[in-house]
């Protein structure tokens, strides 16, 4: 089963427009994805994780509204911010005039 490097995933999500959330805890980093100033979705990564296994990847891909292969591409950078926004828009997560 493929794994993802937790630190690299966190850094790459930040590059794709995710921001650290005000909702913080001692054991997780919360990330929000905003579009036009509105929080569209969020995900979280455990502070102590070095690698993200299948279960955590599954949770994060659901939170990010992606299929597993698309989430892995988002975390590893082949999926661009623009392509991610297109996928979210296709799911109806943004108003049609945005």
Looking at residue 12, what DSSP letter applies? Answer: H
Q: Is residue 72 part of a domain?
A: yes
Q: What is the pLDDT of residues 28-61, one digit of tens each?
A: 889 999 888 888 999 988 777 789 998 999 999 9
pLDDT, mean of residues 8-34 = 86
Note whether 56 and 65 are within 8 A (CB): no
pLDDT at 97 over 70: no
Cα separation, 84 vs 64, in Å, equals 10
At residue 84's C-alpha, the angle toward residues 46 and 47, to 5°, is 10
pLDDT, mean of residues 60-71 = 95
- What is the domain range of residue 58? 4-90
Rounded percentage of the chain residues whose pLDDT exceeds 90: 57
Question: Count of domains in the chain?
Answer: 1
Note whether 40 and 21 are within 8 A (CB): no
pLDDT at 98 over 50: no
Cα separation, 92 vs 31, in Å, equals 21
Q: Is residue 96 part of a domain?
A: no
Rounded percentage of the chain residues whose pLDDT exceeds 70: 92
More confident residue, 12 or 49: 12
């Amino acid at each position: 089963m493929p794994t993802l490097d937790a630190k690299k995933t966190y850094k790459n999500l930040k590059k794709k427009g995710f921001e650290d959330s005000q909702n913080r805890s001692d054991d997780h980093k919360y990330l929000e994805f905003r579009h036009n100033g509105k929080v569209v979705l969020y995900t979280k990564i455990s502070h102590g994780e070095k690698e993200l296994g299948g279960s955590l990847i599954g949770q994060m891909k659901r939170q990010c509204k992606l299929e597993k292969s698309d989430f892995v591409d988002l975390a590893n950078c082949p999926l661009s911010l623009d392509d991610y926004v297109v996928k979210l828009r296709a799911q109806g997560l943004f108003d049609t005039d945005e």
